[in-house]
Amino acid sequence: MIVLAATPIGNLGDASTRLVQALENAEVIAAEDTRTAIHLMRALGVENRPRLIALHEHNEREKAHEVVELARAGDVLVLTDAGMPAISDPGFPLVEAASAAGVTVTAIPGPSAVLTALAVSGLPTDRFTFEGFLPRKGGDRRKFLRSISTERRTMVFFESPHRLADSLVDLAAEFGAERRVVVCRELTKLHEEVKRGTAAELAAWAADGVRGEICVVAEGAEETEVDLAAGVALVLAAVASGDRLKDTAADVASATGLSKRDLYEGALAAR
């Protein structure tokens, strides 16, 4: 079978007994970075020397078939550099291929930056979404944030420290300056920091630069009724900034529950 194994996101003490046992017994390990896998085993006192296969974002679709075939003969342990494989890390194409081939996939659960950030954020945890990394380019990022600006569930994002300030400025613009936001930095590490405030406050805080691994948790939107006229206005505003009408109508429809066709035709009529 294929075994997806969660690894520590910062604190080595979070390595589970099952993870250590799996590393000790593994004959084949598919790792995001084989050097990181070797370092982890050494740090945990594991003397096993399994076959190591690099499985990362640039080759995982090509390597998936090979790893699946290896898993027919024996277990393959799958590791990423930190956290759970397949969650904004390599692994999904492999699981997809294994499922299609009838090869069993299981997991050794453990540390998760997503759940850790959500748990410590102080924002509602009963319903939430994980949105992965925000788009790199400003225009794409603002368009994406606009499309989810009415999402009522708590939202968790990953972000690069180098783009955090710009992303928080865009989040404040699209979600509203008073939306509650939490930035979680270096979770489980020595310099862990959880910074809470409004979108505007955290944008100002991050302006001088922030270091480390970053998770952003944003409060969901308040429940509001958006009528067709307001929805059309949202579409027209996005189109005026350069977005395609068809795509924007779909985004606003998804966010508001309004009809995509009505939004599209309403925007055409208004233009």
Question: Which residues are CB-contacts of 168 (< 8 A; sequence separation ≥ 6)?
Answer: 181, 183, 199, 202, 203, 206, 216
> Exposed, middle or buried, 120 (CB in 10 Å: 0-12/13-18/19+)?
middle
Residues of the chain with pLDDT under 50: none
CATH number for the domain formed by residue range(s) 114-218: 3.30.950.10
Q: What is the pLDDT of residue 44?
A: 97
Instruction: Give dist(CA 265, CA 246) in Å, integer.
Output: 10
Give the pLDDT confidence of 157-196 residue by residue, as tens digits.
999 999 999 999 999 999 999 999 999 999 999 999 999 9
**Residue 184 CB neighbour total at 10 angstroms:** 24
Q: Any idea where the domains of the chain sit in the sequence? A: 2-111, 114-218, 228-270
Q: Which tokens is 36 given?
A: 């990181």
Q: What is the pLDDT of residue 186?
A: 97
Instruction: Give dist(CA 217, CA 196) in Å, integer.
Output: 9
Q: Among 109, 206, 212, which residue's Cα sits nearest to residue 164?
A: 206
Pick the CATH number of 2-111 from 3.40.1010.10, 2.60.40.650, 3.90.1010.10, 3.10.20.600: 3.40.1010.10
CB 193 within 8 A of CB 186: yes
Instruction: Give dist(CA 74, CA 51) in Å, integer.
Output: 12
Q: What is the pLDDT of residue 188?
A: 97
154-159: strand order across its sheet: 128-133, 154-159, 214-218, 180-185, 193-198
pTM reported for the whole predicted model: 0.82
Q: What is the pLDDT of residue 115?
A: 97
> DSSP letters of 8-67?
-SS-GGG--HHHHHHHHH-SEEEES-HHHHHHHHHHTT-----EEEE--TTTHHHHHHHH
Element (H, E) at 237: helix 228-240
Q: What is the pLDDT of residue 243?
A: 85
Q: What is the pLDDT of residue 160?
A: 96
CA distances from 108 to 120, 150, 260 (A): 23, 35, 42
28-31: strand order across its sheet: 51-54, 28-31, 76-79, 2-5, 105-108
Q: What is the pLDDT of residue 221?
A: 93
Q: What is the pLDDT of residue 238?
A: 85
Q: Which tokens is 232 given?
A: 């059309």
